[in-house]
Amino acid sequence: MRTDRKQELLNIGFNLMMLRGYDSISFADLAKASGIAKPTIHHHFPTKQDFGLALLDQIENGLTERFKGLLAMPPEQVLPMLEQALHTFDPNGRICPISSLQAHHQSLSEPLQQRLIEVTELELNFVSQLFERLRNALHWNVNISSDAAANLIMFQTKSALQYGRALGKNLLPQAMATTLELLGIAR
């Protein structure tokens, strides 16, 4: 089994999911986008559930790597780096891959639902940890829990992606600025 072919399918599926949503992609779509025959796709992923679980593993690995990098940065460099990334990021009609799956949570299989819950909790936990680290290191006087702040940050970010997609705009910088203002963090 060629792992590069499997990874290629995951990368294509990941991009299709961000553009169209998980429920809107099929193995026929993967075959067309990749030029790989459907039997080969089924060799790597016997079912769409297997494909979805592999996508969630890839998402988790990416989240873990990104947040480890953020936690390793000097605290005073994190916000400016995030702000710069949000200003230069072009969502180009893409949505968060986790949100893509969350939107159809009830139609997912039980194993896929459970794995999605795990990745969602991991994402919120990472944001909460990062917020707590920055609050302590930068002496933010914020009177809500790190978990509540993480929820606010994620709600704002994911809403900005969804609304931005509908409006054809990058609303992430505005969402970041509003979130910092709501939290009372001066920039």
* pLDDT tens track for 136-179: 999 999 999 999 999 999 999 999 988 988 898 889 889 989 99
> What is each CA distance from 114 to 27, 53, 69, in whole angstroms?
23, 10, 27
Interval 30-53 mean pLDDT = 95
3-state secondary structure of 26: coil
Predicted TM-score (pTM) of the model is 0.90
Instruction: State how far the Cα of 187 lies from the Cα of 174, in Å rounded to an integer.
Output: 13
Return the percentage of the chain with pLDDT > 90, whole number: 71
Judge contact between 12 and 30, C-beta under 8 A: yes
End-to-end CA distance of the chain: 51
Amino acid at 70: L
Judge contact between 14 and 34, C-beta under 8 A: no
Phi, psi of 66 (to 5 degrees): -65, -45
Instruction: Give CA torsion, residues 68, 69, 74, 77, to 10 deg.
Output: -130
Q: What pLDDT was estimated at residue 149?
A: 95
- In a 13 Å sphere around the CA of 101, the CA atoms on its Cβ side amount to 26
* The CATH number fitting domain 47-183, selected from 1.20.144.10, 1.10.357.10, 3.30.70.920, 3.40.630.10: 1.10.357.10
Instruction: State how far the Cα of 150 lies from the Cα of 67, in Å rounded to an integer.
Output: 13
